[in-house]
Structure 1
């Protein structure tokens, strides 16, 4: 019965996955063909790093969009596969028939949840494996495995996301009892979780390592930006080679105090003319003259797989708790 009720959504999901697989396989083959062409040219010219950098630039935007699309897969699973699972039965009243047969409520729910959870995990596994394979040459060049979108769309993390979305959709339907509102609320909750996890939870899964970096004029020119709308003395986009930067302090003076905002703004707006030609012109040597430094928290790339396992385990643990709660509530409260 679970399969008969689920087979139409499963068929639609299989068709979408097949189309996505065809595109990802085509993209992966294109990337490998382009890589071979770049390597053939660069060996002759003797400048392979620049050629490989161009290869990564050619496909970075496309792969980022694909990762963003695949990031929506858990939300779609939760909305269209799992939110109606219980909500539709309660909304139409068919639960009165289903729960008065020889099968208990708990067994009914466990079988239905198991069916959808298994399908969700298989879809996420297939999509993640295909994108990971397609993007492998570019990922090896870019070295940004901890990038927010890339991390959540490759390897193990999508499996945990899909499981959590499935369990969350079922529990939401159990509470809301109306199919369309349950679908909408499930989508919002899943997207909120996928936003909170990389920004508020992932950086703290393991204690960060720290370093103090002197802000010379050359170091300041490596940044992506200076200041904020509130004129805070911050440097944006500081990187640590081979690591994921999770937190950067404000510009600090030699005694560890934040740089005065007026001094910072004077260097930005009224820096003495030195003829500096770096990214920020005369502002860089002006700031560097105040003997500044940054306290940087970071996670080395060697911890990538530990973060993947920890995050996936957290998703799966939350999924198990939600499923257990649904089984308890459907027996005692519905």
Structure 2
């Protein structure tokens, strides 16, 4: 049964191996270039130069490329689920070849389990190697950039991509088992997995561990450090505040000294028609106007030291979901498939 599964899977395996080889060659080249840039940055900074400018140039040379690669790696689990998982069972049920195997003294559950394990191991190998190479290549930049918790970067480093791939593959296999048609199963797998990948980082991840909270006064300098003021609906919020060495997972609306939300009309006055003071900075007179109101926000954040705890917790969630799907698939193929 193992040999038969491998023979049926060998074309997809060779295609995946070829793609992994191309990616590995590029990532090794990029990783060496990044390390050369890191040495150049440290020499410029250590020689009494402008460290801030050297750091900005170094990060600017590689961060965008690494973000594109992280986005590409984010597609790998979906592609594995689509092209390796969805057809694995659906194609056999669609063509009826599963009956031939079952008539050769191979039980249904053994047929399903062996197929799941053989291709699942290949899924772990491909996704793990891709994640390992990108993590190695990007490590000098990640160490200096301090954005390991960002949605794209977090999902493309270390163990999380492997867990994503395992879930995507198992999901595709079970969807194929239920749908029994290859193309619809492929489309449905991508759709469901995309929803999962949206919900987990935005809804589940911020609550995996209780955040640290801190009250931060909104001085003019603090407001000018933000990326934006106001919400889509014009609410009194400040966006893009940071905490050194931490992932800010939540920011309250602007509050007055007594803890109440800032009145909308007072925010609108400062935002649209602040007194002219000639202040500089990102928000200029608006920042000065708001600072005079003695405002603060409550920040919720996760320290960087919790990074590995989040990696393992999120991976455990994905692997648990994959195990539940695999268990359901074994039950379904034994009870419901004819």
Q: Structure 2 length as normaliser, TM-score?
A: 0.97
Question: Deviations for 1:156-202, whole angstroms, at most 9, x for unmatched residues?
Answer: 10110011011100110011110001001111111221111111111
Note the C-alpha offset of 1:48.
Answer: 3.1
Distance 2:155 2:195 in 1: 14
Distance 2:121 2:327 in 1: 16
- Of 106, 111, 125, the match for 1:108: 111
Q: Which moved more, 1:201-210 or 1:38-47?
A: 38-47
Match of 2:37 in 1: 34
1:236-315 matched pairs, under 5 angstroms = 236-315=239-318
- SS in structure 2 of the partner of residue 247 of structure 1: strand
- Of 145, 149, 152, the match for 2:152: 149
Match of 2:59 in 1: 56
Match of 1:82 in 2: 85
- SS in structure 2 of the partner of residue 251 of structure 1: coil
Question: Deviations for 1:41-73, whole angstroms, at most 9, x for unmatched residues?
Answer: 333343334312320111110000000000000
Is the contact between residue 75 and residue 165 of structure 1 (CA under 8 Å) also seen in structure 2? yes
Runs of 5+ unmatched residues, structure 1: none
Distance 1:240 1:38 in 2: 24
- Of 131, 136, 154, the match for 1:133: 136
Distance 1:308 1:266 in 2: 44
Distance 1:229 1:303 in 2: 32
Distance 2:118 2:292 in 1: 65
Distance 1:39 1:207 in 2: 37
Distance 1:46 1:27 in 2: 26
Runs of 5+ unmatched residues, structure 2: none
Is the contact between residue 244 and residue 301 of structure 1 (CA under 8 Å) also seen in structure 2? yes
Structure 1 position 219 matched with structure 2 position 200:
no
Is the contact between residue 35 and residue 52 of structure 1 (CA under 8 Å) also seen in structure 2? no
RMSD: 1.0
Is the contact between residue 17 and residue 127 of structure 1 (CA under 8 Å) also seen in structure 2? yes
Match of 1:99 in 2: 102
Distance 1:210 1:50 in 2: 32
Distance 1:217 1:39 in 2: 33
Question: Deviations for 1:206-265, whole angstroms, at most 9, x for unmatched residues?
Answer: 111111111111111110000122111010101111110111111111222211111111
- SS in structure 2 of the partner of residue 153 of structure 1: coil
Distance 1:122 1:74 in 2: 12
- Of 185, 188, 210, the match for 1:185: 188
- Of 193, 205, 209, the match for 2:212: 209
Structure 1 position 7 matched with structure 2 position 10:
yes
Is the contact between residue 53 and residue 141 of structure 1 (CA under 8 Å) also seen in structure 2? no
- SS in structure 2 of the partner of residue 299 of structure 1: strand
- SS in structure 1 of the partner of residue 169 of structure 2: helix
Match of 1:73 in 2: 76
- SS in structure 2 of the partner of residue 72 of structure 1: helix
- SS in structure 2 of the partner of residue 273 of structure 1: coil
In the alignment of these two chains, the number of paired residues is: 334
Note the C-alpha offset of 1:100.
Answer: 2.1
Question: Deviations for 1:59-90, whole angstroms, at most 9, x for unmatched residues?
Answer: 11000000000000000000000100111111
Q: Which moved more, 1:27-36 or 1:144-153?
A: 27-36
Structure 1 position 158 matched with structure 2 position 161:
yes
Structure 1 position 196 matched with structure 2 position 202:
no
